[in-house]
Structure 1
Amino acid sequence: MFSLQSIDVAHFLFAMGCLLALAHLLGFLAERILIPRVIGEITAGLVLGPTLLGYFFPDVFQWMFLGFHAEDQLFGLLYQFGLLMLMFSSGLKFQTKFNKADVKITSALVVGATIPAFIVGWFATDLLNVTSYMGSANSPLAIKIVIAISIAVTSIPVISKIFSDLGIMRTRFAKIVLACAGIHDIILWVALGYATAIASQEGIITFSLGLKTVLINLSFIGGILLTAYFLFNRFTFLKNNFLFRASHLGYFLFTMFMLAAFAGYLHVETIFGALLAGIMIKLSIPTDEVDKIEYIVSKVGFAWFIPLYFAIVGLQLDLIQHFNPFYFLGFLLFACFVQTLSVYITSRLIKQDPLTSLNLAIAINDRGGPGIVLASIAYSTGIVNQEFFAILVMVALMTSFLPGVWFRIVLNKKWRLMPGDENLVTEKNKEQLNNKSTNNDR
């Protein structure tokens, strides 16, 4: 019980080590040419997966990743852990402190970036001819919801990484974008929960099923937020909370795993539990403690679990035999146009200037990690087939590329991100100025 043969363990460690090393290497190279690291990590899976290695050397691919009976299940387990860590890390980045003006802007953007894009995506499925892209669940309604979400979804992990790399993480602009993305995605995960519930019921649609699914999701969110506000802080710092005293990180990871498990038992996606665990900790624990946990989680997660998750996503893609580049290009342009226009118009309606509106539109158009998570869940639950899974992943990757390029141009041109960020000195420039002043003092 709970054992593998020694040769199988060695085989799995070899395959995992190669995949992890290539994910880090290509992620590093991606950052060196100023594109998001996640693109390099997924490319590692493309190189070692069916797209390249499996196409040119199928026997080597079969031996490496399907070499013994349980190897695919072990990679599947790592995939799930990486997904949980990604969502937990995203929750820890949730923004909590705003003034009234920022609340107004954020609220307007959440509404403007979600509802119009979702509605357009919903009705566009009739024009996009998605019948051939349905998965084994064979549910037209579920795939409608997934496509609508794919148009409206926004990425916290990738856009926050871009902001961090550019040294603008503490700007007013970054705070509003990340808050909008966080609230935005919670709403869309509820919709995804409804889609997966439909898929699990073999496409059978009833009013009671819809009402039950929505109520469970909303009750789960409300229960977590109430716990965060009234109980979690007090319980965490109780003198007799020996688990917290034994290991702060262990305690918070335990919290994440329990909420993810609870979500699963309620037939809510487990990743939703991990996301809300991070948000609960962010809302209820002192900032200095959250910063420590976020730092440690990012070190552990982004060293092992999360790069492997993205690399395994790449392993599941077959861009040679299961990818339609022309349909992808059309879907990409359509998704970008709808989301960009929705955000830009909303921003102009709340009297933001054209450049600020464009900056917000480009930032919120980044689908990144959540777009890939959406594709993964939709594929694993049979809502979409492998071809549309590849299209959704590639759309997420391409929309992650544009913000990094655009905001480097904005900073190099010394343009304003938004009102309140005038005469911006990035964190990196501050460090350089501090180093120069220190050298001059010497």
Structure 2
Amino acid sequence: MLRGKSGLVLSGDAGKRCRLNAVRVVRKEAPQHYHGGKKNFCKKNKSSLKKTEAGMQSEGAGSMHMNFTTLDTAYILIVLLIMLASAHAMGFLFQRLKQPVVVGEILAGIILGPTVIGHFFPEVSATLFGNNTITKTVLAALSQLGLIFLMFASGLEIRTLFKKDEFSTSIYISTIGCIFPFAAGALYLHFFDQSANYGPAANSTAFLIIFCSSIAVTSIPVISRIFIDLGLIETKFARTVLSSAILEDIALYVVMGIALGLVSQQADHGAPILSALGLHFDSVGLFIYHFIIHVTFVLFSLIGAPKIFIALSRSRWNLIARKSPVGYLLVTLFIVTVLGAMFGISLMFSAFCAGFIISSSGELFASDSALMKKNAFGLSIPIYFCMVGYKLDLLRHFHVAEFLALFVFACTAKALSVYAAARIAKEGHRKSVHLAICMNARGGPGIVLASVAMQAQIINDSFYVSLVLLALFTSMGAGSWLERALGKGETFT
């Protein structure tokens, strides 16, 4: 591939003619070498000709890489239009049905993906979501930003949901309701071999952490949205569920970060700081490192970082905050995220901690944080959940028996542990049942767990499908259960 005088990139016959012209030019410029014979000419000018062609090829390649046309932009906008419109439309429909919005957004992705349109209209799917590298890159970037902002939004909610005077029941539920299902998952793996569900990373420890976490996880965003829709968000019952879920999710993101660190260690040590210092650990040392660094990061986010953030926020020298509070929050989010990545902490966990740090400022940035969340839930977060659904190939990777076994085991282990914890905390039978059902809603965190584990190659496609469907059905079940209970006249206090 060569570039002509006009700047056009030439290939095929045109490229050959360009090479001949280049040879003639070299012959004219060096006749003394050519008169010695064709052999002598080729010997003397072989390197010169190669340099000429290499330069032309390099120049042409550069123009191709920089060639981002208006048509490419329009194509990306069309794809985004379809995904956003579908996600928001399905989300609205499920909201009207008093079901989690996230279920509708994922269902939109399933329809656009290989399960529906890709299967029945493969030409349409190939045209929209085919091998267009630029579009795939943009969607992947937006999806990752959606995950970061989703975790950031979850971190922002933590301080507003905690009520210290209602902490005792939450401690029982979060402790017993998290440890028992996690242990039950480990016991399940001991008796039932799941190596067929390993991803390319083939890391049994990381898989164990992901599997057990999927049994224990509870969703804050989904269950809180259900409480809002049903008018229960101000009740003590709702605060008990949400504060318990907060404690569980903090523990979940710590162990999830450890799992990701164990896998990434196989390629680049998981932490650039370790590579820079020339430090190497065996598998046990690596597990200890990631456990210590994640716990330390959480404690720093809870205690030290908020004080630093508030001091910087009120400084007269903070030009970014004075110019644009939203810009300042974005800079803070990215700094915390990058800092965590340097130590091998996943981007999503770092973003979660960044949200908690910023929430420590109270009302100082409340309106700006709300604006960030509003924009994120308008663009990047729906794209993220739509992409989660798009990656689900139910026709090829959905195994009914495997999913049902996981569903029954996960729901039973979680429900029994939460019910027992609530009874120990001296809650009544009926309220304990309601708590057990609500704490089974895995929603967003369950989906994040599945997608991150899939991206890190810890699990395979079929187990990814099972985990996402587990999160969806448990979330829908919790909403339906509470609505049915209210319809029977039950009260929640």
Distance change >3 Å, CA 133–CA 212, structure 1 → 2: same
Q: Does structure 1 residue 256 correspond to structure 2 residue 351? A: no
Are residue 165 (structure 1) and residue 229 (structure 2) matched?
yes
Unaligned runs of 5+ in 1: 422-442
Q: After superposition, where does 1:379-398 map in structure 2 within 5 Å? A: 379-398=454-473
Distance 2:234 2:399 in 1: 40
Deviation at 1:46, TM superposition (A): 0.7
Contact 1:189/1:272 (8 A) holds in 2: yes
- Asked whether the equivalents of residues 118 and 149 of structure 1 are also in contact (C-alpha less than 8 Å), the reply is yes
Q: 1:334 to 1:56 in 2, by over 3 A?
A: same
Q: 1:176 aligns with which of 231, 236, 240?
A: 240
Match of 2:478 in 1: 403
2:361 to 262, 269, 285: 285
How much has 1:59 moved relative to structure 2? Answer: 2.8
Aligned residue number for residue 285 of structure 2: 208
Q: Distance in 2 between matches of 1:85 and 1:2?
A: 30
Partner residue, 2:298: 221
Q: Check if 1:62 corresponds to 2:126.
A: yes
Tell which structure's C-alpha radius of gyration is larger: 2
**Does 2:420 correspond to 1:356?**
no
RMSD in angstroms over aligned alpha carbons? 1.9
Aligned length: 416
Aligned to 1:110: 174
Query: Shift of the alpha carbon at 1:101?
Result: 4.7
Partner of 2:349: 272
Distance verdict in 2 for CA 1:343–1:399, change over 3 Å: same
C-alpha deviation, 1:107, in angstroms: 1.3
Work out which of the residue numbers 308, 318, 328 in structure 2 matches 1:231: 308
Report the residue type matching 1:256 in the other structure: L
Secondary structure at 1:4's aligned position in 2? coil
Query: Is the CA contact (8 Å cut-off) linking 1:23 and 1:45 kept in structure 2?
Result: yes
TM-score by length of 2: 0.80
Deviation at 1:294, TM superposition (A): 4.3
The corresponding residue for 2:80 is 16
Distance 1:91 1:402 in 2: 25
In 2, Cα distance between the equivalents of 1:105 and 1:112?
A: 11
- Post-superposition Cα deviations, 1:318-347, rounded to whole Å, max 9, x if no partner, equal 000111122111211110110011000011
The structural deviation recorded for 1:117 is 0.7
Q: Distance in 1 between matches of 2:169 and 2:260?
A: 32
Is the alpha carbon distance of 1:238 and 1:202 closer, same or farther for their aligned partners in structure 2, counting shifts above 3 Å?
A: closer
Q: Of 251, 257, 269, which residue of structure 2 is paired with 1:187?
A: 251
Task: Please state how far the C-alpha of 1:279 moved relative to its aligned partner.
Answer: 1.2
Contact 1:163 1:169 in 2 (8 A): yes
Partner of 2:184: 120
8 Å Cα contact 1:94-1:178 kept in structure 2: no
Residue aligned with 1:114, SS: helix
Instruction: Give the structure-1-normalised TM-score.
Output: 0.89
| AA partner of residue 301 (structure 2) | I
* Structural mapping, 1:21-36, within 5 Å: 21-36=85-100
Gap regions ≥5 residues in structure 2: 1-64, 268-280
For 1:150, the aligned partner's letter is S
**C-alpha distance in structure 2 between counterparts of 1:258 and 1:59, whole Å:** 43
Query: Aligned match of 1:314 in 389, 395, 410?
Result: 389
Secondary structure of the structure 1 residue equivalent to 2:133: coil
- Given that 1:87 and 1:274 are in contact with CA atoms closer than 8 Å, whether structure 2 keeps it comes out as yes
Partner of 2:422: 347
Aligned to 2:403: 328
